[in-house]
Amino acid sequence: LDRLATARVDGDAGVITYTQFLSERGRLEADLTITKLPLPNPFASSRQPSFLVVATDTAHRHVESMLNRGIGERELAVVTDVSGGLAQINLQGPRARSVLGALTGADVSDGAFPFRAARQIDI
């Protein structure tokens, strides 16, 4: 992923990285976020690092193709489209934490749920 993305994405688990994929000519191919998931995670049965790549609906097949083409000959990686089983809700703005806090028992304070953090919580 670090070869494909313009930003370093293989950092700490639970952090969302905003990045782009570029063509070999440097043209924008995809605008997306990549999250390194904490272990264990709901998407993998192994203890190997897993990543959640989120792209727009109109670009996700192109991103999937780029990911598959980006796997090196001597690398072991699996790309799985989970978009049919997941939904994404974006809650933004100055009152986002108070709105979300009213819907969950999870701690969504700045300290427990900082900017660009990825957490699985019940709402």
User: Residue 39 CB: number of other CB atoms within 10 A?
Assistant: 12
- Say if residue 20 is in the same domain as residue 52: yes
**Structural domain count, the chain:** 2
Same domain, 46 and 95: no
**Do residue 76 and residue 27 come from a single domain?**
yes
d(CA 87, CA 78) in angstroms, rounded, equals 21
Q: Residue for token digits 């978009």? A: 83
In whole angstroms, give the CA distance from residue 122 to residue 82.
19
Work out the average pLDDT over 44-69: 88
Residue 3 lies inside a defined structural domain of this protein = no
Q: What is the pTM of this model?
A: 0.86
Question: Could you tell me the sign of the dihedral formed by the alpha carbons of 13, 19, 23, 25, in that order?
Answer: negative
**Per-residue pLDDT tens over the stretch 12-55:** 999 999 999 999 999 999 999 999 988 777 666 667 788 999 99
123 and 67 both lie in a single domain: no
Range of the domain at 43: 15-87
